[in-house]
Every structure is written in C-alpha cells, then in structure tokens.
Amino acid sequence: MSTEVPRQFKPNLVLVNRRKAAGWESRKRAARELHRVGLQRGIRETPTVEAIEKAMYRHETGRVAVTDPVYRQLYCLAYDAKPHDLFGELTNGAEDRPHFSVRSHKFVPAFVGAEGAALLRDSAGCTPATEQWHPCYSTPVEHPEGGCTLYVWPCGSVVFHLVESVEFSTIAALAFWRKISYGDNIRWAAGYISRVVPDLDESTLYVFGAHWVIEPAWPAELTEAALRIMATPSVLLHRDRAMDDEHLAHAELIEQSLLSEAYDHGGIESFGIRGISSGYASWSGVVYHPVAVDRSLTESELVACGLAIQSMWVYTDAITRQIEQGKDPEVPPIYGWRHLRGARSRLTTSRPRETGQHQAMRRAILQTSDLMPALEQAIETLRDTDRG
C-alpha cells in the first residue's frame, strides 16, 4: 500500500472570482467567452473551447501556473485586467516554501508638546539616551509583542521603538502582518501616552517600519527585487479590500509577477554597496540586508537614523498643522527656529568620521521621508513669528 502523501494544490482564487464576477458560473461558459474574445481579437493560436475549459480547470485549481502567453492574453482580455493582477507561480503551501527571517523595527511617533514630554519622561523614568543624533531620553517599556523602548525629546516629540523577530514565506504575508499590526501598535501607543497626556490626538499617530533582513529566501537573481518590494509592501495590497485569504492569495500572485519583472519604483532610493549590503528606502519604509556583516552598517546605526528623522518629522508635522489652520505656531522659544536650524544641520551635514555607507543611508532615508520641505517651512514660519 502506498504511503505517498497526495499533493496539495492552492487554488487561484483570483481567477475563480474574476470568472464569477463576470457572471460565468461554469467554466464551460467562461471557456466559450475566452474563445470568442480570442477570435474577435484575431489571436491565431486561440485554443478550442474544450482545450480552454480543461486549461481553466488546471489554472483555477492551482495544478499549474498560467505561463502560456496565449492563455495569459486571453485571461487579461476577458477579465479586463493586467497580468500582475492575475498571475503568479505559487508553491504548494506556506509550509513548503522557504522562509525569510526579519527583525522588524517599528517607529511609532507622536507629538505631545514640551510640557507633555516632560510629564511623560518623568512618569516613565527616562534617562539620557546614548548614541542619538539629537539629545533625548529613553527607557524600556513593556509591550505585548516584543522589546520596546520609549524615546522622549524635550521639544515634544515621542517615539516608541518596537523590535520584533518574524519569519514569513512571502512578502505578501509580511505586508498583511504589517498592515494589521500597525493599527494595533498605534492604539497601544495612544493608550500609553493618554494615561499621562490625555488630550493626545490619536489621528496624528503613524508607524514607520524598518526591516533588517537576517536570512533572505530568494535566489540571488531575485533578492534585490524582493527587497525593493519589501520597501514598498503596500504595492501588493488593495486599499479597501478585506484582509482575508482571498486578498492574501491575490497579493501573492502580484508578488510573484513583480519578482519576475525585476520590480523597481521611482520612489525607492538605494543605499547598499555591492558585495557588502543591500539597502532601500521609500516613503513606506526601509529595508536593509547585511551581506558582509563585518563591513556593513549596524542595526544601531539604522535605528539612530530612523529615530532622528521621525522625531523631527512629527515635530514639523505639528507645526505644519498649526500653519494650515491659519495659526501662528505655538512652540517654546528654546525649541523655535534656531533649534530646528540645528536639527537640519545634524540631519544634512556629514560627520568627520562618517563612512560612505552611513552617508548614503542618511541621504536615502532623509530624501524619501520628504522631511526637508516641511522643516524648511517650519524654520521660515517660526523665524517670521520670532519664535526662537
């Protein structure tokens, strides 16, 4: 008696749902429509209705990926979709795929004002932080998901730095975890701050993520594209779609398509060095993989850069919101335009012993954060109102 385990197939729910959304409940009906479309468009290699029906069964049940150019074209025409919306080559299941391991660094900034910062610093028992770009205070705080440190800047910026070690078989799974967990992280941070500073505006909180890739799971020729996708994971997701298995299956298909196309994006800045590291920064986040650990950047350097930029980002955002409400910004003179001018210098000016890698990282993350226009406006406005 054979003890072989039957192969498990993962259905292509995207194709199934596209077919049903078109009103074609049976594959036979859908096959006739694809055949008609092929003839109308003059596709000479259009298969017979019977062949299309059989292929559709194999494609929808996940027995084979859609690699035949004729079928890819027919599906796209019939469902009015782009290739990356429909196709991919998924492996049998998450348990059979290689996993990549990541240390996730989440920065959750908030602005509480100078008085709120002093209250939060004292209540949490913060002490002067070391090796940071701007003087601040820090202390470990308990968090249900991982190690967390609270950083407080006297000007009123607060950043929670949450570190979690995670493993995933697809970048789509990482994107799902990221989107779901970010909401939980914001609510947790708001609850923590509100116990001390009760008038916090939770709508201003956000999460900025940095992924330190410990062990990649892709062939060498796909790794750079994978890291670029990881730097912009929302490209895999639909904004208004439920976070369910069907959405995940669709996201995995898009991931495979983008990998095959050597995905790149104009909003991504590279700061890696061939043979030493791979690094990418975008508006959505930062990804870094040290290839030669003893010659690459360190995690603490990446974290310090993230903390410095996010602390200034949330401060200038608070000033920008006051400006847009038609107000003259209210900040203590000691943290006025001269303070921001000093912060700008620290963010943009190279240090005497700064390495080229560190310089590239700083510039890439600063560029993609879009901090500088807001910082320049804040300095100009505070100077005009004689603040600082």
**Residue 32, CB half-sphere, CA atoms under 13 Å: how many?**
6
Mean per-residue pLDDT, 203-211: 96
Q: Reply yes or no on whether the pLDDT at 201 is more than 70.
A: yes
pLDDT digits (tens, 9 = 90+) for 90-127: 444 444 567 899 999 999 999 999 999 999 999 999 99
Give the pLDDT of residue 6.
44
Q: How far is CA 245 from CA 130, 221, 249, in A?
A: 44, 29, 6
- Kindly give, in sequence order, each residue whose CB lies less than 8 Å from that of residue 292, ignoring residues fewer than 6 positions away: 275, 276, 277
In which element (H, E) is residue 37 found? Answer: helix 27-40
pLDDT > 90: percent of the chain: 74
For 132-155, what is the mean pLDDT? 95
- What is the DSSP secondary structure assignment for residue 48, as one 8-state letter? P
Is 317's pLDDT higher than 60? Answer: yes
Residues 6 or more apart whose CB falls under 8 angstroms from that of 183 comprise none
Place of tokens 């078989």: 169
pLDDT at residue 11, rounded to an integer: 73
Largest interatomic CA distance in the chain: 88
CA contacts within 13 A on the Cβ side of 195: 9
**Domain ranges for the chain:** 13-91, 99-295, 303-384
What phi and psi, each to the nearest 5 degrees, are found at residue 279?
-140, 135
Sign, CA dihedral 239-240-244-247, equals negative
For residues 268 and 365, what is the distance between their CA atoms, to the nearest angstrom? 10
The whole-angstrom separation of Cα 72 and Cα 62 is: 15
Instruction: Say if residue 85's pLDDT is above 80.
Output: no
β-pair type (269-270, 137-141): unpaired
Reduce the secondary structure of 205-219 to three states and give it as a string.
Answer: CCCEEEEEEEECCCC
Band of residue 16 on the pLDDT scale cut at 50, 70, 90: confident
Q: Which residue has the tokens 């782009």?
A: 82
In the predicted structure, residue 82 carries a pLDDT above the cut 90: no
CA distances from 85 to 17, 209, 247, 258 (A): 12, 26, 11, 10
Q: Record the tokens describing residue 357, joined without a space.
A: 């890698």
* CA distances to 131, 132, 212, 314 from 303, in Å: 10, 9, 10, 16
Mind listing the pLDDT tens digit for each residue in 329-348? Answer: 999 999 999 999 999 999 99
- Higher pLDDT, residue 275 or 12: 275
For 310-321, the DSSP string reads HHHHHHHHHHHH
AA letter at 187: R
**CA–CA distance, 120 with 162 (Å, rounded to integer):** 18
Region 28-57 average pLDDT: 92
